[in-house]
Structure 1
Amino acid sequence: MRDFLAAAVQLTSSSDPERNFAAAEEQIDLATRRGAELIGLPENFAFIGDDARRLEIAPTLAEQASRFLVTMARRYQVVILGGGFPVPVGDDAHTYQRAQLVGRDGQILSSYDKIHLFDVDLPDGSSYRESAGFSSGAELPPVVDVPGLCRVGVSICYDVRFPELYRHLIGAGAELLMIPAAFTAFTGKDHWQVLLQARAIENTAYVLAPAQTGTHAGRRQSHGHAMVIDPWGTVLADAGVSAGAAIAPVDLDHLQRIRTQMPCLQHRRTALF
């Protein structure tokens, strides 16, 4: 057997970084007590709040968030993904949204700056202009061969709507797709699980999707339902709408069986398009 437990953490982050770090560590501690070896934290795990405040504290918060991930990985001897925290870009109006994967020894295995920004007008009247406060990353996300676990492909939230990104990750060898998010409650109720299952099925890969849940800063609402999904599209664990974690086994033998039985990745005819 080549399997291990993975945890998709679910938080209700606020504008208080220290409170957020404490809440994240609580869930990391609980997940490791249950045997998790790979843990994902959601997008915005370190801060959700006013844009002006985010820009003000970004230089300090970026260092704090990265240091927190390194400390947690070493303290609990697990691999941790911080699903998104603000990093200065060099101007006074924008930050990157950065995900960082850290190994058990505290080594930063990869960093990824979110490339797809959520600029939408929703049917409920809500408008989001992520590009007003964030800059798009300039590089495609990485795939990391995590020793003793599996090959991990990293993405962030809105990326899930762009299947070509996941074809890139699968082409680079990913076996598990990490999709940390702060999905809106309005879009999440119809699209979150469907999109996650689609990415798992079409790529015959595991999906680990940490999530934000509840109400933040008195206004923004997140959908919740952090999930672990297998390569057949089966939801193995769902965290519901409370803070906690979805924890389930990632079985690479199971993945290989599905890829053998359903070899759609070998059947692509992209040259015809």
Structure 2
Amino acid sequence: MNISAQSATLPLTCLAAPLKVAGIQMVSAASVAQNLKTASILIERAASQGARLVVLPEYFCLMGRLETDKLSVAETKGTGPIQDFLSEAAIRHHIYLSAGSIPLISPDQGRVFNTQLVYTPNGEQIARYDKIHLFNFARGNESYDESRAILAGQKIVRLETPEITLGLSICYDLRFPELYRAMGQVDLILVPSAFTYTTGQAHWEILLRARAIENQCYVLAPAQGGHHENGRRTWGHSMLIDPWGDILEVLPEHEGIVSGTIEPGRLQEVRQSLPALSHRKIFADK
């Protein structure tokens, strides 16, 4: 562990202007076509309400009956009907669009990457984040192990656009604060998720608010929220949280949208009144 001799000097914020954002909550089915249709309707609604950045939940395109169902719909990066849909939607509504996660082919034939892609208003894919931390939980009749069908990613992703600086993460990543520290200072952390009802009820809000508070940034967490065809129940409670940890909007269950505005003034206010980011002394070894 390295101890810094001096406090870091950081700009209070690089966000130039307010930005309207929206997170989409879904109850995805076992049909890709059905899910894309639902996503299309919700993306259009979010864009019509003025959102410039729209974020889909984890597994928006498929909540299969089996963990391995995602293997049959996995795409090669840059080509495939799911990616075509995302690019076209970004162009049609002139928005930045984040695919909460889609399955992309990996070097391991028995597993896929669980990947978040970000598209610009001209349909260009400008960022890729492969989920690093893979969910594993067993209690009573509940049992999940993402590593059976998913290959873990290796790269932390911080995305700078002309409008906003984003930190990319997916679901279970939320439990690992060191990931977010390694991103550096960002305006908004994205946490598209499919938290189980059990773990979500216990920890979802607490973890999201903690990540916003300790990183002094906004957090947008669009989620799966309801009873799925495969028998799984997800927690939902998609929410937008500000840098002080205040919940700006939340949607408990069912399909819908949470939205709000990322305000540079709010980022500056929090970071100026409590300059914790510049007070950091302890950094992980490189």
Whether TM-score is above 0.5 comes out as yes
What is the distance in 2 between the residues matched to 1:256 and 1:11? 33
| Letter matched to residue 106 of structure 1 | G
What is the distance in 1 between the residues matched to 2:38 and 2:258? 16
Is the CA contact (8 Å cut-off) linking 2:113 and 2:131 kept in structure 1? Answer: yes
Using structure 2 for the length normalisation, give the TM-score.
0.89
Q: Per the alignment, do residues 116 and 144 of structure 1 end up closer, same or farther by CA in structure 2, a change over 3 Å counting?
A: same
What is the distance in 2 between the residues matched to 1:218 and 1:132? 17
Following superposition, the deviation at residue 12 of structure 1 comes to 0.7
The equivalent residue for 2:254 is 242
**RMSD, matched Cα:** 1.8
- The structure 2 residue matched to 1:157, chosen from 157, 171, 174, is 171
The equivalent residue for 2:19 is 4
Q: Which blocks of at least 5 consecutive residues in structure 2 are unaligned?
A: 1-15
What is the distance in 1 between the residues matched to 2:99 and 2:262? 19
What is the distance in 1 between the residues matched to 2:135 and 2:283? 31
Q: Per the alignment, do residues 7 and 271 of structure 1 end up closer, same or farther by CA in structure 2, a change over 3 Å counting?
A: closer
Following superposition, the deviation at residue 136 of structure 1 comes to 0.3
- The structure 2 residue matched to 1:135, chosen from 146, 151, 159, is 151
| Letter matched to residue 154 of structure 1 | L
Aligned residues: 268
Is the CA contact (8 Å cut-off) linking 2:63 and 2:230 kept in structure 1? Answer: no
Following superposition, the deviation at residue 2 of structure 1 comes to 2.0
Q: Which blocks of at least 5 consecutive residues in structure 1 are unaligned?
A: none
- The structure 2 residue matched to 1:264, chosen from 246, 253, 276, is 276
Q: Which of the two has greater strand per residue? A: 1
The equivalent residue for 1:228 is 240
Is the CA contact (8 Å cut-off) linking 2:25 and 2:56 kept in structure 1? Answer: yes
Q: Which secondary structure state, in structure 2, belongs to the residue aligned with residue 200 of structure 1?
A: helix
Q: Which secondary structure state, in structure 2, belongs to the residue aligned with residue 80 of structure 1?
A: strand
- The structure 1 residue matched to 2:204, chosen from 181, 192, 196, is 192
Is the CA contact (8 Å cut-off) linking 2:54 and 2:97 kept in structure 1? Answer: yes
| Letter matched to residue 100 of structure 2 | G
What is the distance in 2 between the residues matched to 1:53 and 1:222? 18
Q: CA offsets per residue over residues 144-171 of structure 1, 9 Å max, x none?
A: 1222x210111000000000001011x1
What is the distance in 2 between the residues matched to 1:271 and 1:161? 19
Using structure 1 for the length normalisation, give the TM-score.
0.94
Q: CA offsets per residue over residues 121-147 of structure 1, 9 Å max, x none?
A: 23x44121110111101222x111222
What is the distance in 1 between the residues matched to 2:105 and 2:32? 16
The equivalent residue for 1:213 is 225
Q: Per the alignment, do residues 202 and 25 of structure 1 end up closer, same or farther by CA in structure 2, a change over 3 Å counting?
A: same
| Letter matched to residue 208 of structure 1 | L
The equivalent residue for 1:51 is 67
Q: Does 1:13 align with 2:28?
A: yes
Q: Per the alignment, do residues 29 and 125 of structure 1 end up closer, same or farther by CA in structure 2, a change over 3 Å counting?
A: same
Q: CA offsets per residue over residues 21-54 of structure 1, 9 Å max, x none?
A: 1101111111111111111000001111023432
Q: Which secondary structure state, in structure 2, belongs to the residue aligned with residue 92 of structure 1?
A: coil
Seq. identity, %:
36
Q: Per the alignment, do residues 20 and 256 of structure 1 end up closer, same or farther by CA in structure 2, a change over 3 Å counting?
A: same
What is the distance in 1 between the residues matched to 2:284 and 2:96? 40
Q: Which secondary structure state, in structure 1, belongs to the residue aligned with residue 39 of structure 2?
A: helix
Q: Which of the two has greater helix per residue? A: 1
Following superposition, the deviation at residue 92 of structure 1 comes to 3.3
Q: Does 1:180 align with 2:196?
A: no
Q: Which secondary structure state, in structure 2, belongs to the residue aligned with residue 36 of structure 1?
A: coil
| Letter matched to residue 122 of structure 2 | D
RCO higher in structure (CA 8 A, sep ≥6): 2
Q: Which secondary structure state, in structure 2, belongs to the residue aligned with residue 192 of structure 1?
A: helix
- The structure 1 residue matched to 2:107, chosen from 72, 90, 106, is 90
What is the distance in 2 between the residues matched to 1:225 and 1:13? 15
